[in-house]
């Protein structure tokens, strides 16, 4: 089947690094994440996927907040129907907060936008992908890294998640996960 028969899928690549360390280098973590995203989009070219030229980068911003210029622009462009697929290197590049993740996925779903994580094989456009924000694999991916260590905000985030209706049966799975 030719690429022409597939609908155009405009792909936005979102990148984030929490510290500014190393961002002054000519090729940094944000560039590496974008390059991996571009390669993934290219691998889906036969499905009509194309990388948008706009950059949605947040260098030096924590994933624990939604107050990031790159993320805000990404969500504005989603609302303006400029994006069909959001591509990230890892789920935790988008956010480290499960309640924020749920809000983002709800926004994407409302506009029919898919979410793809390059390294974790998450693709809400794929029938095999964990599309629901309460999917245990997505919960572990968002939590990974922050929930094997002491974290001053951990109790606050657990409370926020409880208030958002996240079921406790996943809690033991999440709190024991350590960064690889």
pLDDT in tens, 8-27: 999 999 999 999 999 999 99
88: which 2 tokens? Answer: 């990230």
Q: Which domain holds residue 48?
A: 3-131
Question: Does residue 78 fall inside a structural domain?
Answer: yes
Q: List the single range of 11-15, 28-32, 151-155 with lowest mean pLDDT.
A: 151-155
Q: Strand, coil or helix: what is 34? A: helix
Question: Does residue 164 fall inside a structural domain?
Answer: no
Burial 153-163 (b: 16+ CB within 10 A, else e): eeeebbeebee
Q: How confident is the model at residue 144 (pLDDT cuts 50, 70, 90)?
A: low
Residue 142: predicted pLDDT? 56
CA 150 to chain centre: 24
Q: Strand, coil or helix: what is 122? A: strand
78 pLDDT above the threshold of 90: yes
Question: Does residue 86 fall inside a structural domain?
Answer: yes
More confident residue, 121 or 58: 58
Q: Strand, coil or helix: what is 102? A: helix
- Tens digit of each residue's pLDDT (9 = 90 or more) over 83-104: 999 999 998 999 988 889 889 9
pTM: 0.71
Residue 98: predicted pLDDT? 86
Contact assessment for residue 86 and residue 52, using Cβ atoms and an 8 Å cutoff:
no
More confident residue, 134 or 108: 108
Q: How confident is the model at residue 6 (pLDDT cuts 50, 70, 90)?
A: confident
Residue 174: predicted pLDDT? 40
Domain count, the chain: 1
Question: Does residue 75 fall inside a structural domain?
Answer: yes
Question: Does residue 156 fall inside a structural domain?
Answer: no
């Amino acid at each position: 089947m030719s690429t022409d028969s597939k609908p155009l899928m405009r792909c936005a690549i979102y990148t984030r690094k929490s510290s500014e360390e190393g961002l002054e280098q000519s090729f940094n973590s944000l560039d590496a994440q974008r390059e991996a995203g571009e390669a993934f989009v290219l691998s889906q070219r036969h499905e009509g996927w194309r990388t948008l030229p706009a950059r949605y980068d947040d260098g030096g911003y924590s994933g624990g907040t939604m107050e990031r210029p790159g993320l805000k622009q990404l969500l504005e462009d989603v609302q303006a129907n400029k994006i069909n697929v959001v591509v990230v290197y890892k789920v935790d590049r988008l956010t480290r907060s499960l309640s924020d993740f749920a809000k983002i996925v709800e926004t994407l779903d409302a506009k029919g936008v898919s979410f793809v994580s390059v390294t974790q094989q998450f693709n809400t456009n794929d029938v095999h992908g964990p599309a629901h924000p309460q999917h245990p694999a997505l919960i572990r991916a968002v939590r990974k890294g922050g929930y094997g260590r002491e974290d001053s905000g951990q109790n606050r985030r657990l409370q926020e998640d409880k208030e958002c209706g996240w079921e406790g049966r996943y809690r033991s799975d999440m709190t024991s996960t350590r960064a690889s």
